[in-house]
Amino acid sequence: MADTLERIKEAGVVGAGGAGFPTHVKINCKAETVIANGAECEPLLNVDQCAMRDEAEQIVAGLEAVLQITGAARGVICTKEHYHDAVVSLQKALTGKENLALKLLKSTYPAGDEQVMVYEVTGRVVPTGGLPLDAGAVVLNVSTLKNVSRALAGFPVTDKTVTVSGEVSVPVTMEVPIGTPFQALIDRAGGPKSAEGYVAVIGGPCMGALERDWSKPVTKTTGGIIVLKADHPLVRTKTQDFARDVKLAKAVCCQCSLCTQMCPRNALGLKVEPHKAMRAAANNDGKLLGDINGVFSCCNCGLCTYYACNFGLNPAAMMTRMKDGLSRAGVKPEKKIAYPVSDGYGLTKLPTYRLESRLGVTQYESNAPYVREAFSVSSVAIPLKMHIGAPSEPVVAVGSRVKKGDLIARIPEGKMGANIHASIDGTVTAVDAQQITILR
């Protein structure tokens, strides 16, 4: 097992669907169940769906390897029932594997939330301040499992599959070298040619962040580039100034608590109560915040802001601000489950098409097919921090010749992190504290 873990570490595998937690650290544990997350719960993204359709055998091989490492008795791949081609491929790859199963989910948001998924598979709730392991589970994105399988075959993480959608002429999903500038991908998708008047959401429309600088690079965790007009309602919500949010909380929030009633983490009994965050902000009184453990259990899914609140207020931003404030004050959540799962748990599941309609992105749905072609890029700028943990330390210098797959930066001694490899053949032209640039 130590050798398998070492190979995964050497290859620089990190969580491909989230914040980039180093996989060799995450799976170095004992678990009962390994869950492969193929729900791809954010609208518009097509990355995991394509991986499950075209590389189901690699995903299953990665899952089996993680089962062996963790000693888990069963592995469950969760995906959406309407991903028909992916389901067929997975069923084929799972034939005869008695300890592995497929769980089909409805198309709801946020079906891919780690804690929702753990509950759906195990019937157990991850406590506030806890990890899926507290419910006996390890959750890995299907694209991460694909990378585990590749790592064991000797291939480090050098490429990332990305969906480019929104206001582009030819929406597309394709695999590109890590370090490729967003602009090159947007150009491949046919435009817009100029950055003027447009912005990009990096990631999914709900949880993704706005980016105006399209020279920024694709990382190991980039899943989507959604190009939108600068005056799109989604962009306006994401750019809203916090002071204005507080004014609106004071003037408009009627404490109807719909945001709390629809919160998926609240339905799990975790006391996540965004209406109380609004109340505390409006009155500038932290005592009105309610159970602070619940504040830490907010997953920033944005459902309360983008769907629940009929007044267009921003309770999700308020939760984030409260969480940051508590963390800065040194407050930590207790490990506990506040209440039983709500009787209305099933009712909080929001059909994805309704969310898309509210977000104003319905017209972009399912329009980014996977294109299998060698993406040619003349230079890449590979960040030294694409993961949770310490930035990697360069092992190359300006002028070094590298081949795709060569180690260019490694985990600092005694720290948690991830190795980084060249994503194209070429010459190193710059090395600084942030990134390594390679010119073909």
Residues that bind ligand SF4 (CB under 6 A): 253-259, 263, 265, 272, 274-275, 278, 298-304, 308-309, 311, 313, 315-316, 319
Q: Are 422 and 404 in contact (CB under 8 A)?
A: yes
What is the DSSP code (8-state) at residue 362?
Answer: G
- Angle in degrees, CA 208, 415, 336, rounded to 5: 60
Q: How far is the CB of 298 from ligand SF4 (least distance, A)?
A: 3
Q: How far is the CB of 400 from ligand SF4 (least distance, A)?
A: 44
Please choose, from the candidates 369, 309, 402, the residue with its C-alpha nearest in 3D space to the C-alpha of residue 189: 369
Q: Nearer to ligand SF4 by C-beta: 55 or 245?
A: 245
Q: Nearer to ligand SF4 by C-beta: 56 or 258?
A: 258
Q: Nearer to ligand SF4 by C-beta: 104 or 254?
A: 254
Write phi, then psi, for 244 (nearest 5 degrees): -70, -40
186 by DSSP, 3-state: which? helix
Q: How far is the CB of 303 from ligand SF4 (least distance, A)?
A: 4
Q: How far is the CB of 308 from ligand SF4 (least distance, A)?
A: 5
Write phi, then psi, for 280 (nearest 5 degrees): -65, -40
How far apart are alpha carbons 225 and 301 in whole angstroms? 18
Q: Nearer to ligand SF4 by C-beta: 272 or 359?
A: 272
Q: At what angle do helices 56-70 and 47-54 cross, to 10 degrees?
A: 90
Q: Nearer to ligand SF4 by C-beta: 263 or 424?
A: 263
Q: How far is the CB of 304 from ligand SF4 (least distance, A)?
A: 3
What is the DSSP code (8-state) at residue 199?
Answer: E
Q: Nearer to ligand SF4 by C-beta: 15 or 294?
A: 294
Q: Are 32 and 118 in contact (CB under 8 A)?
A: no
Strand-pair partners of 431: 436
410 by DSSP, 3-state: which? strand
Q: How far is the CB of 134 from ligand SF4 (least distance, A)?
A: 18
391 upstream amide cis, omega within 30 of 0: no
Q: How far is the CB of 387 from ligand SF4 (least distance, A)?
A: 24
Strands (E), 353-406: 379-383, 393-394, 401-402
Q: Nearer to ligand SF4 by C-beta: 288 or 395?
A: 288
